[in-house]
Amino acid sequence: MTATYDELPALMTRMTGDEKHDASATSTLDVIWVLYSDVLRVDPSDLDDPDRDRFFLSKGHGPMAYYAVLAAHGFLTPTQLDTFGDFDSILGYHPDRTLVPGVEISSGSLGHGLGLAAGTALALALRGSDARVFVLLGDAELDEGSNIEAIQFAGRRGLTNLTAVVIDNDSAGLGWPGGIARRFAVEGWVVDDVDGRDHRRLHRALTARDGDMPHAVVAHVEKKG
């Protein structure tokens, strides 16, 4: 199945039972759509390709948008979406990499995705692969201390095959002096600030590469209610 962006709301409404995370899910929808439609080199018929791009959903709570995009691109079927959250379903309230086709990491407990992404990017670079790693985080998730270590490590190693996308819906309790972009920039990352609903600007930012630095994209969306 290949669906259009306009069909995503109908796919998402097939999943019920985790409505408290609707805002978390919809905040990621446009970034994940642009990644799978126009950026990632992944093929649902060849999930184990060693040179595939990797996408890590570190912001793993409320994965309905992720599942909807996977169904839109042939990794899942619409019928599987109907089983979301059922006892014997592969689609849990947090994505499980051992169950869901195309899911690279099991996530939901925040603060782990960026470190995993940095390690994977380093391993791919050492192997000589041209595969890229994209990791999607939330702004509040950056309050986890593990992330600053990963940001520093990636910057100092110059992991040019790594892109961190931060969904900024103004939900962080602590924040950072100078904002999210500065948090990455001072550690040796090149940073783009974009409208997280603007597909054209997202595409431009997500496909940009600049010298010998990792890349961060801060995607601003409406404030969490």
41 belongs to a structural domain:
yes
100 belongs to a structural domain:
yes
Overall pTM surpassing 0.75 (yes/no)? yes
171 belongs to a structural domain:
yes
87 belongs to a structural domain:
yes
pLDDT (0 to 100) of residue 211:
72
Q: What are phi and psi of 132, to 5 degrees?
A: -115, 155
Count of domains forming the chain: 1
If we measure between CA atoms, which residue out of 84, 82, 104 comes closest to residue 92? 84
211 belongs to a structural domain:
yes
Tens digit of each residue's pLDDT (9 = 90 or more) over 77-123: 999 999 999 999 999 999 999 999 999 999 988 889 999 999 999 99
DSSP 49: -
Task: Give the contacts of 58 (CB within 8 A, at least 6 positions apart).
Answer: 105, 107, 110, 111, 112, 113, 114, 116, 117, 135, 136, 137, 138, 141
225 belongs to a structural domain:
no
CATH number at residue 195: 3.40.50.970
Structural domain for 33, as ranges: 5-220
Q: What is the pLDDT along the chain (225 residues), one digit of tens a residue?
A: 578 999 999 999 999 887 776 777 899 999 999 999 999 999 999 999 999 999 999 998 889 999 999 999 999 999 999 999 999 999 999 999 999 999 999 998 888 999 999 999 999 999 999 999 999 999 999 988 899 999 999 999 999 999 999 999 988 877 777 899 999 999 999 999 999 999 999 999 999 876 789 999 999 999 866
